[in-house]
Structure 1
Amino acid sequence: MPIALTDDHRELGEVARAFLTAQKARWAARELLDAEEEIRPPFWSELAELGWLGLHVEEKYGGSGFGLPELAVVIDELGRAVAPGPFVPTVVVSAVIDAYGDEALKTRLLPGLIDGTLCSAVGFGGTLELAGGRISGDGGVVLGAGLADVFLLAAGEDMVLVDRAAEGVSVRVPGNLDRTRRSGRVKLTDVAVGDSVLGGTRAGALARARTLFAAEAVGGASDCVETAVAYAKVREQFGRTIATFQAVKHHCANMLVAAESAVACVWDAARAAGEDRTRDEGPFRLAAAAAAALAFPAYVRDAELNIQVHGGIGFTWEHDAHLHLRRALTLQALLGGDGPATDVFDLTVAGVSRANSLDLPPEAEVLREQIRAEARRIAALEPAAQLDELIATGYVMPHWPAPWGRAAGAVEQLLADEEFAAAGVKRPDYGITSWVILTLIQHGTPSQIERFVDPALRKDEVWCQLFSEPSAGSDAAAVKTRAVRVDGGWVINGQKVWTSGAHYARRGLATVRTDVDAPKHAGITMVILDMKAPGIEVRPLRQIVGESEFNEVFFNDVFVPDDLTQRADLDPRRLHIQDHHRDAGVLGG
C-alpha cells in the first residue's frame, strides 16, 4: 500500500507514478551504473516545472504551501522507481531552511532549490567544528554530494549551510554502492559561514531527513514486494508456480508485513511534522525516529528477499533487483543503524509521546458531539449504573449489531473510544468472551442468544474457545474430539490444548467431530459447553514466566444437550474460521 490515503493524495501519487514511468526513471537510473560521472536526471527540469521540489514550501518563495505529507507521497513513488538524482536530499534541505531559516536565508536559497537550479546534499556524520563564523573539519559521508551545489552539514547540535563553490570546500566522490545517487566526502578548511548557521536545529533537521528518506525507503520496499509476488505467481518449478510453495509464501508475507508496518510509521511521521507545535518538536522527532527504525531495515530486508525469491535471475546485472539493494543499503548505512531506535527509547524515557489521531470527515464532528453528550451523561452515574446504561445504549460494544451494540462503523467506533475515555468512563474489556458472544449473536439460535448474551455483557459469565488440539494447532479441520449421538444430545470425548482462560471460564465454545465418515472439512459441529459439567478436566499449562494463562482440557463422556449446538444449516467450520480470524485480528492489534 502506498503512503497516499486521501483521494487527493492518491491522485497525486498516480500522477507521480505515471510521470516517472513516462520519463523512464528506472532506465535513467540504470544508465548511471556504468557512468564515470553522475549527471542530473534528464527529467529534472520537468520535476521542477511540476512544482514537486516546492510542494512543502510557502508560496511566497515559489512553493505550493502544502506540507511533508504531500511531499512524502511523491517521494514514495520516486522510491518505487529507484529514481536517480538529488530530489530527496534537495527537498530535505529546503524543508529544514523553511522550518528554521530566517527571512534572508529563505529568500536567498529557497527559490533556487524549488526551481531546480540548485541541488543539495545532507550529512549528519561528520566532525566539524564551528567557531568565530568559520567552520573546519570532516563533514563525513554526505548523501547526494555528487551533484550538490549546497551542503547542509551537522556541526555539533547546529546545522550549517555551505556553498560548494566557497573557498576551503573540498569534495571527493569515490566509487559508490548506489551509483544512481552518489554520496561523497566533504572536507572544510576555515570556510566562512556568515548567516548560514541554523543554531540548535540538528535534531529537527535529522527528523525531517529521516521522514523523507524513510518515505523513499518504503516506496522501494513496496516495489520489492510487488515485484517478488508477481514473479512468484508466474515462475514454475516442479510443475507448479513457486507461489504455491510455503517457504516462498512466507518470504512474500514477511516482506509485506515489513513494508506495511513501515508505511504506517512514515505516514504518521509526515503528518506529525505539521501537527507538532511543541518547542523542541519532541513528538515529531519520536515519530520520525520510529519511521526510520522500521523503514530502512524493512527496505534492506525486502530488497534481499526480492533477490532470493527471484533466484538466479535476481543476481544478474540486467535485473533491477540490485538497484533496490544498493539504494537500501546506502540509506541504512547513512541514516539507519542503532540511532533511530536509540532515539525512540531516549525520547520515550524522557516522557515524549505521540497522540494517536486520524483525519476524520467533517460530518464526524456532529456525531462526536452526540457521543460526547452520552459519555458525559453516563460518566455522572454510579459504576453499576454505568454498565447498565452502556448495555442499554449499545456503547458497551458499539460495533455489534443492534440491540446489543450500535452496528457502528469505523468512525463511530473511534469517536466512542475517544469520547468515553475523555469522560472517564471505563468500558468493559471482555477479551475472548466478546469474540465468542458475537459469533453466537450472528449464528446462534434465538434461545441461545437470549440465554447467554446478557450474562456475558454483565460479566456474570466468562467464556473460552476450545479449538486447538494436540498435533493440530490452528488447523480448523484437524478436529479429533468426538461427539457421539445419544438421546437428547451428544457425548463428547477428546482433548483440547492451548485454551486461554479455561481455568476460570464458566462457558466455552468448542469444535467437535460429529461425523467421522465425512470429508476432513465437514462433519464438524460447534457446541456450547458448561465448563463445570461432569467429565471436563482443566489442567493449566505453566508458562516460562511461571504463571498459567492457557490450559489443556480433557473431555470424558461429557454430555451436551441438543439446544447447546449450533444450527444444523450452518457450516460449523466456517463459524470456527470466522471466530479464529477475529482472534488473530484482535491479538494483532
Structure 2
Amino acid sequence: MLAITIEQEQLAEAVTQFAARHAPIDKTRAALDSIAAGELPTWWEEFTANGFHAVHLPEDAGGQGGTLADTACVIEAAAAALLPGPLLSTVSASAVASLADDSAATLVADLAGGATAVVVLPEDSSVRAVPDGEGWRLTGSIGSTLGLLAAQRVLLAAHGEDGTELWFVLDASSGLTLEQQRGTDLSTDVGTLTLQDYPAQAPITGIDTERARCVVAALTACASAGTVRKGVETAVNYIRTREQFGKPVGSFQALQHKAAVLLVNAELASASAWDAVRAIDESIDQHRLAAASAALMAVCAGPDLMLDALLMFGAIGYTWEHDTHLYWRRATSLAASVGSTPRWAREAGELARTLKRSTAINLGDVESEFRATIAATLDQASELENETPTDDARAPGLAYGSQRDLLAKAGLVAPHLPAPWGIDASPVQQVIITEEFDKRGMVRPSLSIAEWILPSILNSGTDSQRERFAWDMLRGTKRWCQLFSEPGAGSDLASLVTRAQKVEGGWLVNGHKIWTSSAHVAQFGAMLARTDPDAPKHRGISYFLVDMSSPGIEISPIKQASGESHFNEVFLTDVFIPDDMLVGEPGHGWDLAVATMAVERTAISNYVTIDRSQALRRMADTDGPDHDTILQALGGIEAHTTAIKAMVLRETLRLVQGQGPGPTSSIAKYAMVLLLRRASTANLGLTGRLAMLEDSDPAVIKPYFDMPSELIGGGTAEIQLTIIASMILGLPRK
C-alpha cells in the first residue's frame, strides 16, 4: 500500500470497504456494457458524498483539504478493489485544475461537488485553438482516452496559433461528438472526441503543462501499483493453499522465488508511484524525474507484473471467469494510456545526465533545538581535519583524526546507538542529522564492518569489552573483520565446524574461515566457533572477539577476478582466545549472529547511493549512433535507483510516524540485486570496446568485476528470496 500514516491507512481501508459493499467484482462483471458506454455507477453519488474523490481539493472549494499523497491512497485502494468508473480520470483532472489560478475555481468546485471529468494532455490532442471575438474556436480531435464517455467536463490542452498550449474546459452536455470504443480495460470506458469550430470560453490560465504531465503520470502509477499489489496478493494466497503432489505448491522453491521477485517488483512500483506524488511540491525537474521513474517502474512494468501473477495460477488464471485477467487488462490499459516506454526512459535518461533524485524530507520546525545543536557541532567539526586518510577509495568515511574524534565524542558517528556511544537518536533526529551533514557536504564517518559488530558488543558484551572496543570503533582507529563463513558453511552458516575448546583461562580455536572481508587490514575480528559439538545445529555456537595478531592466525588473500584482494582465507591453528573475549554466554552465538546479519542486510541496501551509471552518463554527453539507446538505458537504471531510494525513504517516514519497522531491508537487498544486473548488462552492452580494457575511462570492467561481492554479500540472492518468501509472504516451507 502507498499509505505511510495511520490516517492514510484508515482512508485506504474505508475505500476498500466501500468497494466491497457497493462494487464487488461480480456486480462489475454484470455491468460491463453500461461501464463501456460511460454510464455512471449507481454508487457514484454516495462515493462523492463521502468526499473520497476530493481529498486533495481545498476545503473552500468543497474538498477535504488533504494532500495529493492522501488522494493517491484512494486511487491505489480503488484500483486494488477493481472499482470501475471514472475515479482516476476525475481525480487527475481536478489535480491538474488545482495547478491553475482562480480561472479554474468554477471547474474545481464542480469536480469537488461530484462532477466527473477527464484531462487531455497536449501530446494526446490535435485540437487547434483560434481566437473568435471574445471567445475561441476549437477544431481537431483527441485519440483513445480512458474515462472520456463518462466525463461531464473535459479539461483539454489545445494548441494555439503561436505554438503555445491553451487549456479549455468543455461541457459534455454542450453537444460534443464522442465515439465509444471497445476498450482493453473492461472496468473503464474508452472513447474519442472530434471538434469542428467548437465554441469555447476563455481558457484557464496558470497550468504548467510539464507539472500537469507529471501529475497525470503519478496518479496513473498509483492506480497501476494498486492493480499489481492485488495481483501479488491473490497469487500468493492461491499458491499458499493450492496443493500438488500432496503438498502446497507454495512450498516449491521455484514458485517461492517467483512470488518473492514479484513482491519486490510490486514494492518498487508502489515506492516509485508514491515518490512521484510527493514530488508535486518540489522543483519541476525533480518532479519530472520522479514521474518518469514512476511511469517506467509502476505503469510500463504493470502488464508484465500482472502477467507473472496470472501465470502463477496456471491455466485457470487465463480463463474468462477468473478475475485476475480483469486486473491484467487494467494494467495493460493504464500502461498504454501514458504512452510508449522509450519516451519515458528517454526523458528519465536526459534528466539523469545532470540530476539525481532528491530524498530530502521537509520536517519544517520539528526538533528545532535539536537541529541547532547538531548544526553547531557540525560547524565546529567542519573546521577540523581527519589527519589519517582512508585506505579505500570506495569508502571515504574510513578516514579518521581530529574531526572524527569530535563527532565520536558528540555521539554523531552512530547517533542511533544509546549514550554515551551515540545519542539514542529517534528516526526524526536521524533524518535531521543526515540533512545537516548533507547541507555541509561533509562525509559521514563509516564504521565499515564494525557497524555490524558494535551492536552485539554493546547489547551483549561486558562493561570492559564495551570500554575497550567501542570507542576505537567509533573513532575509526581500529579496523574489524567478521569471521563467520567457512568453506562448508556459507549461506548455511549454522553448519560451521571451527572448534573452540575450553582450556585454562580461555579457549583454543582451530578452524578455517573464508570470504573474510578486510581481514588483511583488520586489528580485530568477530568470530563464530562451535563450543559444544553435541548441541543441536543452531546451538552450541559461541561469539568471540579475536585479536588478529594472535599467534596461530594465518591470513591468505583471495585474488578476485578484478585482480583485487578484498576477501581472505583465515586459518586458525591453536589460537588462544582469553575468556574476556567471549561475548555473551557460551552457546548463544547464533542469536548474536542473526542480529548481526540483520544489520548487515540493512547496511548493504544502502549501496544504492553508489553511482551505477557513471559510464553511461559520460557516454550520454557525446553524440553517436547509440545515443538514444544509451539515454533510454540510463533512464531505466535511474528509475530503478529512484524506486529503491523511495522505498528506503518511505520506511524512514514510517518510522518517523512512530510505526514499527517493516520488511524493507530484505526487499531492498534483492531490489539492489536486480539493479546491479540491470546496470551491468546496460554498461557492457552499450560501452562497446571499452569492455576490452581493464583500465578504461570511464571505468567499465573494474566495477563489473567487483559486482559479485555485492551480489553475494549479506546472503546470496537465492537465500534472500527464500527469506522474503517464508518470512514476509508466509509461504509454507517443505
Aligned residues of 1:476 and 1:573 also touching (Cα < 8 A) = no
Residue of structure 1 equivalent to 2:244: 237
What are the equivalent positions in structure 2 for 1:15-94 lying under 5 Å apart?
15-33=14-32, 37-94=37-94
- 1:146, 1:181 within 8 Å by CA — same for their partners in 2? no
Q: Find out whether 1:311 has 2:310 as its counterpart.
A: no
Shift of 1:181: 0.6
The residue number in structure 2 matching 1:195 is 202
Match status 1:345 vs 2:352: no
Distance 1:539 1:29, change over 3 A: farther
* 2:120 matched residue in structure 1: 122
Instruction: Flag the 1:176–1:421 CA change in 2: closer, same or farther, 3 A.
Output: closer
- Whether the 8 Å contact between 2:488 and 2:496 is mirrored in structure 1 is no
Counterparts of residues 157-172 of structure 1 (less than 5 Å): 158=165, 160-161=167-168, 163=170, 170-172=177-179
Partner Cα distance (2:225, 2:519) in 1: 42
1:449 aligns with 466
User: 1:500 and 2:498 equivalent?
Assistant: no
Could you report, residue by residue, the CA deviation over 1:196-240 in whole angstroms, capped at 9, with x for unpaired residues? 376884322210101111111222222223323333333333333
8 Å Cα contact 2:96/2:207 also seen in 1: no
Are the structure 2 counterparts of residues 420 and 110 from structure 1 closer, same or farther at C-alpha, using a change threshold of 3 Å?
A: closer
Q: How does 1:570-589 map to 2 (within 5 A)?
A: 571-589=588-606
Aligned to 1:331: 334
Partner of residue 99, structure 1 = 99
Q: Please, what TM-score do these two structures have when normalized by structure 1?
A: 0.88
Amino acid at match of 1:145: L
Distance 1:127 1:268, change over 3 A: closer
The corresponding residue for 1:113 is: 111
Contact conserved, 1:495 with 1:554, CA < 8 A, in 2? Answer: yes
1:99, CA displacement in angstroms? 0.7
Deviation at 1:89, TM superposition (A): 0.9
User: Which residue of structure 2 aligns with residue 145 of structure 1?
Assistant: 148
- Shift of residue 506, structure 1, vs aligned partner: 2.0
Moved more, 365-374 or 572-581: 365-374
TM-score, with length taken from structure 2: 0.72
For 1:525, the aligned partner's letter is S
Aligned-partner SS, 1:140 = strand
Alpha-carbon distance in 2 for matches of 1:372, 1:146: 57
Q: Judging changes above 3 Å, is the alpha-carbon distance between structure 1 residues 339 and 25 closer, same or farther for their aligned structure 2 residues? A: farther
Is the alpha carbon distance of 1:154 and 1:513 closer, same or farther for their aligned partners in structure 2, counting shifts above 3 Å? farther
Say yes or no: does 1:553 pair with 2:570. yes
Residues 490-515 of structure 1: per-residue CA shift (max 9 Å, x gap): 44444333322223222211222333
Letter in 2 for 1:370: T
In the superposition, relative to structure 1, how do residues 474 and 159 fare at CA in structure 2: closer, same or farther (>3 Å)? farther
Task: Write out per-residue CA displacement over residues 35-63 of structure 1, whole angstroms, 9 at most, x where no aligned residue.
Answer: 66342222111122222333333444433
SS in 1 for 2:522: coil
Instruction: Give 2:517's aligned amino acid.
Output: S
Equivalenced residue count is: 581
**Alpha-carbon deviation of 1:72?**
1.0
Shift of 1:477: 0.8
With over 3 angstroms needed to count, the CA separation of the structure-2 counterparts of 1:370 and 1:25, relative to structure 1, is farther
Q: Is contact 2:158-2:168 (8 Å) kept?
A: no
Q: Distance in 2 between matches of 1:446 and 1:265?
A: 45
Task: Report Cα offsets for 1:299-349 as digits up to 9, x if no partner.
Answer: 434423332333344233333211211111111222262333332222232
Choose which of 174, 181, 200 in structure 1 pairs with 2:181. 174
Q: Secondary structure at the match of 2:361?
A: coil
Post-superposition offset of 1:356? 1.6
Aligned partner letter, 1:576? A
Pairing 1:380-419 to 2, within 5 Å after superposition: 384-419=401-436
| Deviation, structure 1 residue 193 | 5.1
Which of residues 508, 520, 539 is equivalent to 1:522?
539
Instruction: Say which is worse superposed, 2-11 or 368-377, in terms of deviation.
Output: 368-377
d(CA) in 1 for partners of 2:82, 2:582: 57
Distance 1:314 1:403, change over 3 A: same
Q: Choose from 262, 271, 282 the match for 2:269.
A: 262
Change (3 A) 1:168 1:537: farther
Q: Cα distance, 1:575 vs. partner?
A: 0.9
1:400 offset after TM fit, Å? 1.4
Q: Counterparts of 2:541 and 2:497 in 1: how far apart (Å)?
A: 10
Aligned mates of 1:159, 1:143 — CA distance in 2: 21
- The aligned residue for residue 226 of structure 1 is 233
Moved more, 502-511 or 306-315: 306-315
Contact 1:124–1:140, Cα closer than 8 Å, also in 2:
no
Secondary structure at the counterpart of residue 510 of structure 1: strand
Listed one character per residue, the Cα deviations across residues 116-158 of structure 1 (whole Å, up to 9, x for unaligned) are: 3443253565462636345555533322223234444556773
Q: Could you tell me how far apart the structure 1 residues matched to 2:9 and 2:175 are?
A: 46
Query: Per-residue displacement from partner, 1:509-543 (whole Å, max 9, x unpaired)?
Result: 12223333332222222222333444434344444
- What amino acid does structure 1 have at the position aligned with 2:267? E
Change in CA separation of 1:269 and 1:566 when aligned onto 2, cut-off 3 Å:
same
Whole-angstrom distance in 2 between the partners of 1:392 and 1:192 = 73
Query: Secondary structure of 1:120's partner?
Result: strand
Whether contact under 8 Å (1:220, 1:324) holds in the other structure is yes
1:421 CA displacement: 4.0
Given that 1:38 and 1:180 are in contact with CA atoms closer than 8 Å, whether structure 2 keeps it comes out as no
Q: Does 1:354 align with 2:358?
A: yes
Distance 1:8 1:297 in 2: 30
List alignment gaps of at least 5 residues for structure 1: none
Percent of aligned positions that are identical: 37
Q: Give the match for residue 9 of structure 2.
A: 10
What is the root-mean-square deviation of aligned Cα atoms in Å? 3.2
Q: Which structure 2 residue ranges, 5 or more long, are not aligned?
A: 132-136, 387-400, 607-734
Amino acid at match of 1:231: Y
- Deviations for 1:375-427, whole angstroms, at most 9, x for unmatched residues? 34444556544433322232221111222122222122222222344356544
Give the corresponding residue for 1:205.
Answer: 212
The range that moved more, 478-487 or 177-186, is: 478-487
Check 1:142–1:24 CA distance in 2 against 1; reply closer, same or farther (3 A cut): closer
Which residue identity lines up with residue 6 of structure 1 in the other structure? T
Contact kept, 8 Å, 1:123 with 1:139, in 2: the verdict is no
8 A Cα contact 2:125 2:143, kept in partner: yes
Q: Write the deviation string for residues 354-387 of structure 1: whole angstroms up to 9, x where unpaired.
A: 3521558x75334333333443444455654443
Q: Compare 483-492 and 259-268 and name the one that shifted more.
A: 483-492
Larger relative contact order (Cα-Cα within 8 Å, sequence gap ≥ 6): 2
CA distance in 2, matches of 1:8, 1:23: 23
Structure 1 residue aligned with 2:191: 184
Give the Å deviation of 1:25: 4.6
How far apart are the structure 2 equivalents of 1:124 and 1:495?
Answer: 67
CA contact (8 A) 2:531 2:586 kept: no
Q: How does 1:428-507 map to 2 (within 5 A)?
A: 428-507=445-524
Amino acid aligned to 1:9: Q
Give the deviation of 1:433 after TM superposition.
Answer: 1.5
Whole-Å Cα distance in 2 between the matches of residues 198 and 4 of structure 1?
Answer: 33
